[in-house]
Structure 1
Amino acid sequence: MLPPGSPSDRVPSAPPGTIFVLGPEGGYAVPPRRYTLLFGRDREDVHVPVGVDDPTVSRRHGVFTCTGTDDNWWLVNTGNLPIELPDGKLMLTGHRRIVERGYTPLVINSSKRRSHLVEVRVVDGDDRHPRATSGAETVGPETVYELSAQERLVLTALARRYLEGQDAFPMPLAWEDTARLVNSSPYATKSWTHKSVANAVEDVRERLCRRGVRGLTRDEIGEPVGSMLSVNLIRELLKTATLNAQDLELLVAGTD
C-alpha cells in the first residue's frame, strides 16, 4: 500500500513492470504478476478509492489486470463515466488498453464539474533508481521541431487564439484571416495569400508526419476533416513548446 501524497515523478526501487496506482487517499504498488487491482468510489471494495463522495463515480470504476505471463498491465473502464487520458482520448465503458511505461494521469470528469485524478506509473528499466533533479538546470523538451522564421510567423498567426489563452475552446484562424494577420506583421518578408499560408502549414505538417506524429493526415482523421489537421498540428507544436506565448511578439503590429 502507498500513503497519500506519494510523488508522481519518482517511485521506490522496484522491478520493471511494477505498477503504482495512487488516489487521493493513498494507493497500491504491485509487481508484475497475476493480479487484479480495482479503483473506484466504494472504499470497502477497491484497492484505490477515488471520488468517494461523488455518486457519479462508479463503485468499481476501473480495473488494472496483469496475467503474469508478461509484465504488461491492462486498464479496463468498468464505470459509467469515461476515463480521460493525457492526450485527450476518452476510454468509454468497456474500453480496454495497455498501460504505457512511465507516468500516466487518468481523470474521471464528473457531471458535477468535478474531476478525480488517478495517478499511474509502470516502472521501466530506467526507473528503478530515480535521481532527484530539483537543483539541476531546467532543460528544454526532448522534442522541439525546427521552423523557419516565416513558418513560425505563419503558425503563430494560425494559432493565435491558442497562444493568447483567452478562449475556452480555441480554434485555428481561417486561412484568409491568417494571411491578413501575417501581412500586418513587420516580420513578414513577402505578401501572403490564403493559399500560400495553407501551403506553408502543409509543409510543416508533412515534416512532422514523417517524424511519426499521428493525426496529421486525412486518412487518420477521416471525413469530414474540417480544421482537425490544423488543430492536431497546433496541439503538437504547443505540447513540445515549439510554439509558445512569446511568439505572439511576432504579431506585435498585427491587429484585427
Structure 2
Amino acid sequence: MEPLGRVLPKDQTSLAYGVPSAAPGTIFVLTVAGGISVGPRQGHAILFGRNRPEVHVCVGEDDQRVSRTHGQIAFQAGQWWVSTTGRLPIRLPKVQWLFPDEAAVPLAAGYTPLFVQGSSGREHLLEVYVTGESGTRPVSRHQDPTQPPRVWQLSPEEKLALTVVGQRYLLHELHPLPLSWRLAADQLAELQPAAGWTAKRVEHLVAGVRNRLSRAGVPALTRQEVGEPVGNALNDNLFTELLLSTTLVPADVDVLDE
C-alpha cells in the first residue's frame, strides 16, 4: 500500500490526549499497530482492516473475524466520512452501529473512537481525530471548575415512583427493564400504604417526567422520535438520561429496604 500521509511515530500516545498542531481538517487515525495523519484533500481515502500490506491502517491483525479491508474514511465535500466495507459492523459512539452497504457517516471535529467487531466478543479500537478550525489540540483546563451535569428536579413522589420503576437500572442489572406499572404500584403501596398508589398513578407520574424532559430538549422520549413499535424504548431512554445526569443514583434504591 502506497503511503497516503504521514506515518505517526511508534510512541504515539492515544489521540484522546489531542494531536499536534495541523491544518484544519487534518485527520489522524491510530490503532495499536500504528497510524497515519492525512490532510484534507478531495478523494483521499484511508483504508483500514486486517491485511496490513493492503491497508493504510492495520486493525485486528490476528483476528479473522475482522475483514481484510474492513472500512474506509474518505474526504468528500469538505468533510471526512467513515463507511464499513467488511462483513461485520463498526460501532460508533452512543451505541450507533454502521453496517456494510449503509451510507457513510460524517466525522465531527475532535476525537472519535471507532470499534471494529472481532471474534469472541472482541472489539478493536480505531482512534480518529479530526482537527477543527483552530488546527490545534484542545487547551488543558487543569484548574477550571468542573462542569456539573444537569440534574433534573423531581418532586418527592416522582422520585420515589421512578426509583421503584427503574430499580433494575439502579441495581446495575445486565439488561434492565422498567417494572410494570402494576408491580411498581404494589411495591409503592407496601412502602406507603396510605398513599393510594395505583398503576395509573405510577404511569401518569412517569409520563409526566418524560414529557417534561422532552420539552427541555432531551431526545428520544416521544413516540414520534422513536417510531413504532415503541415497546419499552421511551422509558428505557428516560432512565438512561436520569442515570447519566445523576438525577437518580444507585443509593436511591436504599429506600426499598426501609
- The TM-score with structure 1 as length reference comes to 0.85
1:168 match: 174
- 1:132 and 1:158, CA in 2 relative to 1: closer, same or farther beyond 3 A? same
Q: CA deviation at 1:66?
A: 0.8
Structure index of larger Rg? 2
CA distance in 2, matches of 1:214, 1:159: 19
8 Å contact kept, 1:185–1:252:
no
Within the candidate set 222, 228, 247, 1:242 is matched to 247
Q: How does 1:131-142 map to 2 (within 5 A)?
A: 131-133=139-141, 138-141=146-149
- 1:109 and 1:134, CA in 2 relative to 1: closer, same or farther beyond 3 A? farther
8 Å contact kept, 2:131–2:137:
no
Q: How does 1:139-218 map to 2 (within 5 A)?
A: 139-141=147-149, 143-165=150-172, 167-185=173-191, 190-218=195-223
Q: How does 1:32-71 map to 2 (within 5 A)?
A: 32-34=40-42, 35-67=44-76, 69-70=77-78
1:252 match: 257
- 1:145 and 1:131, CA in 2 relative to 1: closer, same or farther beyond 3 A? same
CA distance in 2, matches of 1:39, 1:59: 8
The Cα RMSD (Å) is 2.5
CA distance in 2, matches of 1:47, 1:194: 58
The letter of the residue matching 2:53 is E
Q: CA deviation at 1:213?
A: 2.8
SS of equivalent to 1:103: strand
Q: CA deviation at 1:193?
A: 1.6
- 1:145 and 1:65, CA in 2 relative to 1: closer, same or farther beyond 3 A? farther
Which piece of structure 1 moves more, 5-14 or 221-230?
5-14
- 1:103 and 1:151, CA in 2 relative to 1: closer, same or farther beyond 3 A? farther
Identity score, percent: 42
8 Å contact kept, 1:20–1:29:
yes
- 1:191 and 1:21, CA in 2 relative to 1: closer, same or farther beyond 3 A? farther
8 Å contact kept, 2:15–2:30:
no
The letter of the residue matching 1:241 is T
8 Å contact kept, 1:11–1:127:
no
Q: CA deviation at 1:91?
A: 1.0
Q: Tell me how many residue pairs correspond in the alignment.
A: 248
Q: Does 1:128 align with 2:136?
A: yes
Q: Does 1:81 align with 2:88?
A: yes
CA distance in 1, matches of 2:24, 2:185: 51
1:24 match: 32
CA distance in 1, matches of 2:204, 2:195: 14
- The TM-score with structure 2 as length reference comes to 0.84
- 1:243 and 1:101, CA in 2 relative to 1: closer, same or farther beyond 3 A? farther
Which piece of structure 1 moves more, 81-90 or 1-10?
1-10
8 Å contact kept, 1:82–1:91:
yes
User: Structure 1 regions of 5+ residues with no counterpart?
Assistant: none
Q: CA deviation at 1:240?
A: 3.0
SS of equivalent to 1:121: strand
- 1:43 and 1:233, CA in 2 relative to 1: closer, same or farther beyond 3 A? same
User: Structure 2 regions of 5+ residues with no counterpart?
Assistant: 1-6
Q: How does 1:97-112 map to 2 (within 5 A)?
A: 97-112=105-120
